[in-house]
Structure 1
Amino acid sequence: MSIRSALLLTRAPGAAFVVMGLYWGVFAAHVPVFRDRLGVEDATFGLLLLGSSIGLIPTMWLAPLFDRALRRAALPVAAGLLALAWITPALATAPLAFAVGMIGVGVASGLCDVVMNARVSQIEAQSGRSLMNANHGLFSLAYGIAALASGVTREAGLPMLTVFGGVGVMTLLFLPLLSRAPAPAAVPEEGGAARLPLWPVVLCGIIVMIAFLSEATVESWSALHIERTLGGGAAQGALGPALLGVTMTLGRFGGQALAERLSETAVIRMAALVSAIGISVAAMAPVPMVAYLGFAVTGLGISVIGPMGLALAGRMVAAHQRAQAIARVAVIAFCAFLIAPVLMGGLSQALGLRAAFGAVALLLLMILPPVMALRRRAADPGAVPA
């Protein structure tokens, strides 16, 4: 019941989570199509994909200005820009055009991501409920459904542009609902120039970054660990990242009920310990079946850390600073997707994949000190703005 009521309460920004999940799910399922059409090697294709990060990270820094300028219109405009941005990569046949298109996708995704999370944080403050997990679970669910549906459309021979166009039509249908999201809080005349508190934002950013880094390592390296370290086949290897996606969706919806009974800091502490245990089990697994168990437990744990870290950042600042705080946390957090390939690649080459996953388990335990510092701040009535 708490999940249903949470989704009803946040149905306007929740629609943006659905739109975002649909687009990225369709893209993930069509990656082989993109690569074949561009006619590039894997390494070159990987570099082209960095275009989305190039557009995403700086845009997140500027997204609060976009939010304050457009106010209630910010969310539907951001969703509309996302629909337009996907047209270029969907049509691109040359690597340069694809890279430019992905930069545009990164820009639109950055705007939409910051605004939709800020709106959920705002509704959390108004309602006194924890709502972030349910909405991130909605993203994971939409992503998974879109990826599976795209697999079916690919088998049926449906052109990729038609599939992206279908999601574009759905986005247009969502625009009236998106426009109902609350406007951002106005900057008060007195104290309007107050600076964003640095350390709570940095600590929340570190927490979410470690969660994203752990997620990225399991998504990208779990199949290789099962196949190369444990001697599994290709189908067995594919189950590693698949289990992560399934358990993260379940974890976020389950975490919604948990977060309504416990504080954000308590949920993050438990989730960090659970995910560290899970990835340690996967690292030491003697056979693929044990690794599956470890990766599934990891997914359950890390699924709630990111949403709870963003929710905590929203609670640590004044109402008019939420979009800015979430944007800064997101900029720090998304650096994980630049760090993860270098970290895992270097460690696995030097020490092996077991040691590399063991290092990720230690990183997850490093979440505990900043969480304890934030817990003390949250417990101090004078430290957190009303």
Structure 2
Amino acid sequence: MNPISTTSATTSARSIEAGRWAISTVFLLNGAGIGLWAAHVPVVQERMGIDTSTLSMVLLTIAAGALMAMPLMGGLTSRFGTRRMTLLSGFAFALMLGLIMKVDGLAPLFVTAFLFGISNGALDVAMNANASEVETARGLPTMSSFHGFFSLGGLFGAALGGLIIGQGWGHGQGAMAMGVLTTAVLAVAAPRVLAFAPTHAHGSHFSLPRGAALGLGLLALLCFAVEGALVDWSGLLMQERTGAAPATAALGFSAFSIAMAACRFAGDRMIVRFGALRVMVVGGIAMFAGLATAVLSTHFLLSACGFALIGLGAANVVPLLFGAASRIPGMSAGAGVAAVATLGYGGLLLAPPVLGWIATQSSIMMALGVLSLSGLVIAMSAGVVKRHG
């Protein structure tokens, strides 16, 4: 951001900082909701009396709703602005967060899962679009910290979910209360979420991946696939491999979230000191080693350490890919980031049901073991961030 000395510029700078913390709050709330859902997946399966195959279909329904909403939301943010769409999708997400863990009956579960997916996919696109605008307005790298707040939210949501389940409130009561709390916090943050001019006259925030964006997007897909797998399957893996109770098994995702959040908040400094290429290579190797450890270990603490190692490795891969996407020649920063993010979030949403299908043919251990190879692919392809650095 160019230095400006006028009073109005000072006010603008303060507004930008307020907007930064407001959209950070939205990332935090979204992460908390996803963490809460991760902790409740085994409980929902048990309460509904469904097998792994049916649970996979529920997760696929969530993914279908999200992927249907993403291109639509890309156009809506361009037409109506990212602030309005972020708030609308945020309030919808808060509503569905409570309902998906409360409904009874298989048909209502599938309907609610679809709507939950729509709200989450729409919020993903809208808040990232607003975050990219805030980062541009600040003129400083900020995306890692936004995603750090998402990870911090995941930690809080998973820990709270374990507490709720342990207290016997895991059949929807705690989730409904969390939905109300999310709505209240979002309402407080809403006035400070920055409004930027709609961009329909200059292109959309949503763009199909092509060329360099496609390569970056595929790497983002692999990284998000690992994260999505941990959201929905980490609890079941911990129970199956270590014999942990559902409330205790939620700590596996908590370990992942703690490590990822801490490393993301330090991400900008790490990249300056060690370089993007080295951070990317080490990150991919750590993802592979961590997931292999979590899959093979039968000891709770060692398995939890494996999840933490995944978080350390994956923490700055996506921010690096987003940064590279914003510098693709011949593409605007917004179009590049949108294209890579869309493909990446496709991995986040589609990986859990696909892995669930693999698990029904073999085991969760085998499904996640295959996924661990994603870390090696990321490490071997790290040069892509240097080419667009």
Preserved CA contact (<8 Å) 1:25 1:145: yes
Contact 1:25 1:143 in 2 (8 A): yes
Find the residue that maps to 1:130 and give its secondary structure.
Answer: coil
Q: Offset at 1:30?
A: 4.0
Q: How does 1:237-256 map to 2 (within 5 A)?
A: 240-256=252-268
**How many Å separate the matches in 2 of 1:237 and 1:303?**
22
* Pair 1:172-2:183 in alignment: no
Letter in 2 for 1:252: R
In the alignment, the residues of structure 2 paired with residue 49 and residue 85 of structure 1 have an alpha-carbon distance, to the nearest angstrom, of 15
Greater mean alpha carbon deviation, residues 106-115 or residues 211-220: 211-220
Quick one: distance in 2 between partners of 1:81 and 1:219? 20
Q: How far 1:128 sits from its partner (Å)?
A: 3.9
Provide the aligned C-alpha RMSD in A.
3.7
Q: 1:150-170 deviations in whole A, cap 9, x for unaligned?
A: 444552759343332232222
2:170 counterpart of 1:159: no
Greater CA drift, 148-157 or 132-141? 148-157
- Structure 1 unmatched runs, 5+: 1-5, 380-386
For residue 143 of structure 2, what is the aligned residue in structure 1?
132
Paired position in structure 2 for 1:76: 87
In structure 2, distance between residues paired with 1:112 and 1:207 = 22
Distance in 1 between residues matched to 2:61 and 2:19, nearest whole Å: 35
Q: Which residue of 2 aligns with 1:382?
A: none
Distance in 1, Cα, partners of 2:213 & 2:363: 32
Moved more, 180-189 or 167-176: 180-189
Give the drift of 1:83: 2.9
Superposed, 1:105-120 pairs within 5 Å as 105-120=116-131
Residue 65 (structure 1) shift: 0.3
Distance 1:184 1:365, change over 3 A: farther
The 2-side partners of 1:227 and 1:86 are apart by 24
Alignment deviations for residues 184-220 of structure 1 (CA, whole Å, 9 cap, x no partner):
556449xx9xx86712221122111211233345566
| 2:61 counterpart of 1:51 | yes
The one-letter code sitting in structure 2 at the alignment partner of 1:49 is: L
What SS is found at the alignment partner of 2:140? Answer: coil
Q: What is the alpha-carbon distance in structure 2 between the residues aligned to residue 338 and residue 297 of structure 1?
A: 24
User: What residue in structure 2 maps to residue 201 of structure 1?
Assistant: 213
Deviations along 1:166-186, one digit per CA (max 9) or x if unpaired, are 3222222222223x2544556
When normalised by structure 2's length, the TM-score is: 0.76
Distance 2:178 2:263 in 1: 29
Deviations 1:296-330 (A, max 9, x none): 32221012223332343234330452564255333
Residues 1:333 and 2:343 aligned together: no
Once the 2 structures are TM-superposed, how far is the Cα of residue 20 of structure 1 from its aligned partner?
1.0
Q: Which runs of 5+ in 2 are unaligned?
A: 1-15
Q: 2-side partners of 1:215 and 1:264: how far apart?
A: 21
Residue number among 370, 375, 380 corresponding to 2:386 in the alignment: 375
Match of 1:312 among 321, 324, 343: 324
Q: What residue is the counterpart of 2:12 in the other structure?
A: none
Contact 1:133 / 1:252 at 8 angstroms: preserved in 2?
yes
Correspondence 1:61 to 2:52: no
1:98 equivalent in alignment to 2:109: yes
One-letter amino acid matched to 1:167: T
Cα shift at 1:138:
0.9
Q: Is the 8 A contact 2:155 2:253 kept in 1?
A: no
Contact conserved, 2:25 with 2:189, CA < 8 A, in 1?
Answer: yes
Which shifted more, 331-340 or 74-83? 331-340
1:148–1:320 distance in 2 versus 1, CA, 3 Å: closer
Report the TM-score, using the length of structure 1 for normalisation: 0.77
1:21 aligns with 2:31: yes
Are residues 323 and 145 of structure 1, via their aligned partners in 2, closer, same or farther at CA, if it must alter by over 3 Å?
A: same
Tell me the matched-pair count: 362
* Matches of 2:125 and 2:237, distance apart in 1: 34
Distance 1:265 1:25, change over 3 A: same
CA pair 226-153 structure 1, distance change in 2 beyond 3 A: closer
Inter-CA distance 202–78: structure 2 relative to 1 (3 Å threshold): same
Equivalent position SS for 2:184? helix
Counterpart among 291, 300, 313 of residue 301 in structure 1: 313
